[in-house]
Amino acid sequence: MPRKNFDLNPVTIQDIFAQALTKAAMHPGIDSYVPHPSQEKFHESTAKEKLYIGGNRSGKTVGAVCEAVFRATGKHPYRNDLPVPSRGRVVAVDIEDGIKKIVLPEFMRWVPPSLLKNGSFEDSYDKQARTLTLTNKSFVEFMSYEQEVEKFAGTSRHWVYFDEEPPEEIYNECLMRLVDTDGDYWIAMTPLIEMSWTKDRIYEPWLNGDDSIFVLTVNTEENPHIKVEALDRITRGLSDSEKAARRSGQFITRTGLIYAGAFDRGLYQNGGNVIPDIVPNLAAYTKGMGYFTCMDHGWANPTVFLFCAYTDAGKIIVFDEMYESKKLVKDLAAQYLAHREQLGIKTVYCVGDPSIQNKNAVTGTSVQSEYQEHGVGIGLGNNNVGAGIIRVQNLFASKLLFISERCEKTLKELDEYRYDKFASTKMNQRRNPKDTPLKKNDHCMDALRYGVMSRPALETEEEFKLGNPFDLPEVGPIDIDYERMFHNPEKVDAMLGIEW
């Protein structure tokens, strides 16, 4: 059969050369990857848990994908201890935008043709199974946060790459796939979903010195391919907090901290709402003050007791806390009574979550009655959430409410207590923000509201000026023992201003 003649005129040669250059530019292969300094730090880390927090266009997706390609190809520039072939998993926000439009194009760009079937990405990628298989027998499966948690079970993996923050239950399930291989995972994200679980489980442990975790925070300006002038122009209209997240990868709260502007995290000496731990010298610091406790009951969620001191001028100090999960009422009551005795105080009353009055359909008893049976009388708090929040805000702003450094859980919740938002981004853009708190990690906040609402409202709220250690006005003798008089509901109602 005669060989076909090709017309290799100068125009054809120029077109072929141009196509080759375009292909090389669009799909340079991993050997052509030159990481910028921050990306290089990410690749150099040998930690099995890595968090790449970057502003938009900081190069986090490219760095994270190239880390995956290094492992799939067995050509990692800083590691020679990785298994080849490897079984990998990439999980993104959704299939259409996350996988098809962002992650897959980066894999097409960096996977070398020499490891693709017939040198073709299309021949190596199974669209139905969403799995890329290389000629060295490594494979990468692509999944999304839209899928049910059960889909993330199955056989083991050597590594998992999360593109943007995953739902915590999906993260947990994927980590179980790494157990028998002692595998690695990394997350590349811009923290626009507020102060979420990654901050508590990954970012803060690293911040506190856990060297098994590597966290890299990258500013968009660190990407040498980005013009700072263009970035300034594009982000000009954003709020300071959103600009910090999009440019610096900082954790923010987009829906608003509830006590922002009222609660000051600084020490009282500097005009803040935080005081030192006064428990070691409690009697001296709270001389002339009365004591009460407030609580929020839970089982899987924590049960919280806050120990408070007060004056008749309306000042409240939360000086200690009890925070326990999955404990029976009898054990909680015993622990509470022991703790109160250890503090050496006599409480006037305890007020708590009004839902504790609800009777169990099987036993016919309530949590409230169980506490009472074990020696702890608890009145039903005022659960008007809006009014309670306003009252707490006013007391913080007027320097009438203080939290001890000893109350770590309470302070942590105060730092993260925020308003809820709608489920979809479109709804958040089209509707006014919600004015109800996000019902998550708010147990100390609920207890604090019940406690603050149990105190008499004052017509005027004078400024609270602390001396050294505390220049507090003394109160008269306390003649109401709430727990001893629990059998007298009318008097309790009058004192707390609640309905039985």
What confidence tier does 491 reach under pLDDT thresholds 50, 70, 90? Answer: very low
Cβ-contact 337, 375 below 8 angstroms: yes
Q: Are the beta carbons of 90 and 141 closer than 8 angstroms?
A: yes
- What pLDDT is attached to residue 498? 37
Mean pLDDT taken over the chain? 80
What per-residue confidence (pLDDT) applies to 259? 85
- Give the pair of three-digit tokens for residue 221: 């300006």
Among 162-176, 259-273, 385-399, 417-431, where is mean pLDDT lowest? Answer: 417-431
For the residues 353-358, what does the mean pLDDT come to? 93
Under CATH, domain 10-248 is a member of which superfamily? Answer: P-loop containing nucleotide triphosphate hydrolases (3.40.50.300)
- Contact between residue 67 and residue 45 where contact means Cβ atoms under 8 Å apart: no
Residue-wise pLDDT for 29-83, tens only, equals 898 999 988 899 999 999 999 999 876 566 889 999 999 999 999 989 999 899 9
Is pTM, for the whole model, over 0.85?
A: no
Q: What CATH number should be reported for the domain whose range is 268-496?
A: 3.30.420.280
Asked if residue 392 has pLDDT above 70, the reply is yes
Give the contacts of 294 (CB within 8 A, at least 6 positions apart): 305, 306, 308, 350, 351, 352, 381, 447, 448, 450, 451, 454
* Mean pLDDT value of segment 479-490: 39
The whole-number average pLDDT for the span 161-182 is 94
Which of 1-15, 81-95, 190-204 is the least confident region? Answer: 1-15
List C-alpha distances in Å: 339 to 169, 334, 407: 36, 9, 14
For residue range 404-460, list pLDDT tens digits in order: 999 999 999 998 888 765 443 333 444 444 456 676 778 999 999 999 999 987 654
Average pLDDT rounded to a whole number, residues 455-484: 42
Strand segments, DSSP code E, in 93-243 are 125-126, 131-133, 139-144, 159-163, 184-189, 213-218
**Secondary structure of residue 56 in the 3-state scheme:** coil
Q: What is the pLDDT of residue 238?
A: 53
pLDDT digits (tens, 9 = 90+) for 281-309: 999 999 999 999 999 999 888 999 999 99
Domain residues of the chain, as ranges?
Answer: 10-248, 268-496
CA nearest 396: which of 426, 379, 417, 378? 417
Helices (H), 225-360: 228-234, 240-248, 282-285, 329-343
Across 451-475, average pLDDT: 53
In whole angstroms, give the CA distance from residue 371 to residue 336. Answer: 10
Convert the pLDDT of each residue in 317-337 to its tens digit: 999 999 999 899 999 999 999
Element (H, E) at 353: none
Pick 493 or 38 by higher pLDDT.
Answer: 38
User: Which pLDDT band, with edges at 50, 70 and 90, does 217 fall under?
Assistant: confident
- Give the model's pLDDT for residue 107: 96
The whole-angstrom separation of Cα 370 and Cα 372 is: 5
Q: What was the pLDDT predicted at 461?
A: 44
pLDDT of residue 300: 83
Of 429 and 118, the structure prediction assigns the larger pLDDT to 118
pLDDT top residue among 251 and 334: 334
- 219-237 per-position pLDDT tens digit: 655 555 555 555 455 455 5
- Is the preceding omega at residue 473 within 30 degrees of 0, hence cis? no
pLDDT band at 21 (very low <50, low <70, confident <90, very high): very low
Instruction: Retrieve residue 304's tokens.
Output: 């919280």
What proportion of the chain, given as a percentage, has pLDDT over 70? 72
pLDDT over 60 at 22, yes or no: no
Q: Minimum mean pLDDT among 40-54, 167-181, 260-274, 365-379: which range?
A: 260-274
Per-residue pLDDT, 406: 96
What is the pLDDT, as a whole number, of residue 27?
53
